[in-house]
Amino acid sequence: MDVIVKPTPSLKGQFGALSSKNYTTRYLLAAALAEGTSTIHFPAHSEDSDAMRRCIADLGALLEEDDEKIVITGFGRNPHPATELNVGNAGAVLRFLMGTAALLPDVTFVNTYPESLGKRPHLDLIEALEQMGVEVEHQAGRLPIRIRGGQPKGGHIRVSGSVSSQYLSALLFLTPLLEEDSHIEVLHDLKSKVVIGQTLEVLEQAGITVHASEDYMSFDVPGRQSYKAREYTVQGDYPGSAAILAAAAVTHSDVTVERLMEHSKQGERAIVDVLRMMEVPLTHENDVVRIQGNGRLKAVEFDGDAATDAVLAMVAAAVFAEGTSRFYNVENLRYKECDRITDYLNELKKAGAHVEERQAEIIVHGTPEGVSGGVEINAHFDHRVIMALTVVGLRAAQPLRIKDAHHVAKSYPQYFDHLRALGADVEWVQ
């Protein structure tokens, strides 16, 4: 389905932030790898987190869920044999479970999104698993991927971090269960280091010991560990909230979002700092962000590597800022559900924005008077692109029609419901 976003001068209201997708998927996996019963309070519901639910159930975890919590009895280091796993369009879920699948004799990850996840590379993780004695059949690093494991070996493991930190997270979840101790060496650069901090936080809560170097470029992981059954509480989600906060910033608004921890390890928490740099009137106290927007913003320069999933929302806000904004060190945006630099900027240009791309940068020449709109734009089946383009549509002179906007459900199924509740003029159309 498409959505038509009409000019909306003001937003007002309050609600609790969606639960974090990143933490939910990690807690689900940690609970599945535990022997015993764990409880996760306020888990996220999205296509990604539901993909993890589905796959760990296929591997033998028992799940019982109500409106506030999910109770999981794990399979420990002995997942049940499965011939196929379908992660949908969830790249992080695929990569995390490729590590877990190394414990299985033979499993194939199928390709149900050939135009999105099917195009994304996973070769760096494949090469790391092969160092551990795991056989992997693949299509130049892409799906479908068949893994023949059973008895992966620890030891000295090298993995590139230049494309994604998710490969490293997959190894950090797997290696504590091996017979041998492991030393993981990260080659080249490590993208999105802050997300590794989230993985390490969850592992520690699950009773797992990992010794990390200060720069996160090497890790010593003792083997023969066991995940402990625990109770977890999922915090509010900054990546999804970033678009809501950007929408409030570009309109005349009084918007309050609760459950956003001030000292969260989510790198996308930087959306609050960037909006402050843009001189947006806001407060952040007691895990509550309140924006009283006046529609006036100043240009910024920002290193986006630590806040990957909020950069597109920041760019959308910068479209209406006074001056030229620069978001740099963001090349890994090219390796997401779509090329979030080229594809996104092409659509912004259609809407009337003045933007330029570099290999690892986005340049935005702000137009405080607004953009023209009045066009149909393609979000390339990407949930983050959909949300960010919606922000731009709120301040366009004419409505924007966003194609296939239902793919927002990948991370934030309630996104348009929340915007409507704040007064946004959005309409679903066939």
Active-site residues, by number, are: 309
What gap in Å lies between CA 367 and CA 353, rounded to an integer?
7
What gap in Å lies between CA 43 and CA 27, rounded to an integer?
9
3-state secondary structure the chain: CEEEECCCCEEEEEEECCECHHHHHHHHHHHHCECCEEEEECCCCCHHHHHHHHHHHHCCCEEEECCCEEEEECCCCCCCCCCEECCCCCHHHHHHHHHHHCCCCCEEECCCCCCCHHHCCCHHHHHHHHHCCCEEEEECCEEEEEEECCCCCCEEEEEEECCCCHHHHHHHHHHHHCCCCEEEEEEEEECCHHHHHHHHHHHHHCCCCCEECCCCCEEEECCCCCECCCEEECCECHHHHHHHHHHHHHCEEEEEEECCCCCCCCHHHHHHHHHHHCCCCEEEECCEEEECCECCCECCEEECHHHHHHHHHHHHHHCCCECEEEEECCHHHHHCCCCCCHHHHHHHHHHCCEEEECCCEEEEECCCCCEEECCEEECCCCHHHHHHHHHHHHCEEECEEEECHHHHHHCCCCHHHHHHHCCCCEEEEC
Cα 314 from chain centroid?
15
